[in-house]
Structure 1
Amino acid sequence: MTTTRVPQEERTRAMRQRLLDACVECLVERGWSGTSTTLVSQRAGVSRGAQLHHFPTKNDLVVAAVSHLAEVRGRELAAAAASVPQGARRTRAVLGMLADHFTGPVFTAALELWVAARTDEQLHAAVAPLEQRVGRETHRMTVELLGVDESRPGARELVQATLDLVRGLGLANTIRDDRARRGRILDQWARTLDLALQEPS
């Protein structure tokens, strides 16, 4: 029986991936203050020495996790967008998809980083440009999903207001389960958008 050896580069990449995934999981479950390099290495099943080799400090680990998290958020949104149905209730379905993202664990991890970055210059330098990139991509995706003509006066602002709304609903959901109220707000906002964005006759 022959044993296939995994190349060192592939093993290294897999180990880094486990550490980054574990870091995001810890941010969701323990928050910024409860996340430590020791806890992350234990969660990833990686020795402390190996973890320190890849990420010598918590900031090194978290800065790398920020980039990883941005990629995960992009993939998650793209996958959800692909399943949004066509038809009369498409606007409400788009809002529901966005709300699901902004109330999900990946957004919770990002939120922990936003709060920590407010008073940590190194973390802020890593978080700010990636958040801008994610924000631009989410805006572009929302425009496409809703079929918005941004050349029309006020259309771009309506899309941005939509994203600010669902982000705020996601923030409210971190305090308590806000599903019922969120559903009513999204129902009303879908009606508002459909009226505001319809082509003039």
Structure 2
Amino acid sequence: MALVTGPPSEDGNGRRGDARGAEPKQDRSRATRQRLLESAVACLAEHGWGGSTVSVVAEHAGVSRGAAQHHFPTREDLFTAAVEYVAEERSLALRRSTHRLASSGPASDPERVAAAVAALVDLYTGTLFRAALHLWVAATHEPQLGTRVTDLEARIGRESHRMAVELLGADESRPGVRETVQGFLDMARGLGLANLLTDDRERRERIVDQWARLLYRQLHGDG
């Protein structure tokens, strides 16, 4: 059947139809799915795996449980999709930081290095990383999540390292530079873990400032 792309036409009974009439329904379906994924991440960050049931997520998203199960028939389906959503959003956040800082000055500029360090640490202390942590814990007990979480974290880990190298202007052909960048990312992840229990913003800012100075000297200093 040919796809009608022109204006509405009358059918044999004199009623007018619109070939685009299905689009609003499809748009609503996509919007509902997006709200459910965003709510799944928010609920994981706030309540953890144990408190993030399909009913809780549906209520947070403002949809019925039936609507939630239409998109995600099981809890595992919902949170497996949430794993992918978290990974995609973290990747987008990394790319946004890269694009923003790329225009702020040369990679060897001390202020840009400091801004890059702060931006990378922020990725490990926000809602997306908090949700990811709960998914890690859940994956140790839920076989349906385990492989997916492991694969996606490996992917996001590689992308985080690649973008950190770009943001910091690091030359990994120099001995020790790769390990320096990876050590910094491990430190940032540790700050994210600490932030899960208490808001240690003041202490974290001092550590981030010190790491920015150390990284600048190591990556761009004279020796």
CA shift, 1:83, in A, is 2.7
For the 8 Å contact 1:81–1:97, the answer to whether it is kept is no
Structure 1 runs of 4+ off > 6 angstroms? none
CA shift, 1:10, in A, is 3.0
Alignment partners' CA distance in 2, 1:100 and 1:73:
11
Give 2:113's aligned amino acid.
T
1:36 maps to 2:69: no
Corresponding position of 1:142: 164
Alignment partners' CA distance in 1, 2:121 and 2:220:
22
Other structure's SS at 2:50 match = helix
Map residues 117-196 of structure 1 onto 2, 5 A cutoff.
117-196=139-218
Map residues 102-113 of structure 1 onto 2, 5 A cutoff.
102-113=124-135
Alignment partners' CA distance in 2, 1:159 and 1:180:
23
Residue deviations 1:139-176, cap 9 Å, x none? 11110111111111111111100100111011111111
Number of corresponding residues: 200
Give 2:160's aligned amino acid.
T
Q: Larger helix proportion, structure 1 or 2?
A: 1
Alignment partners' CA distance in 1, 2:82 and 2:33:
10
Corresponding position of 1:71: 88
Superposition RMSD in Å? 2.0
Residue deviations 1:73-127, cap 9 Å, x none? 1112222333333332222111111111211111111111011112222211111
TM-score, length-normalised on structure 2?
Answer: 0.83
For the 8 Å contact 2:110–2:216, the answer to whether it is kept is no
142-151 or 46-55: which moved more? Answer: 46-55
CA shift, 1:12, in A, is 2.4
Other structure's SS at 1:33 match = coil
- In structure 1, runs of 5+ residues without a counterpart are none
Corresponding position of 2:138: 116
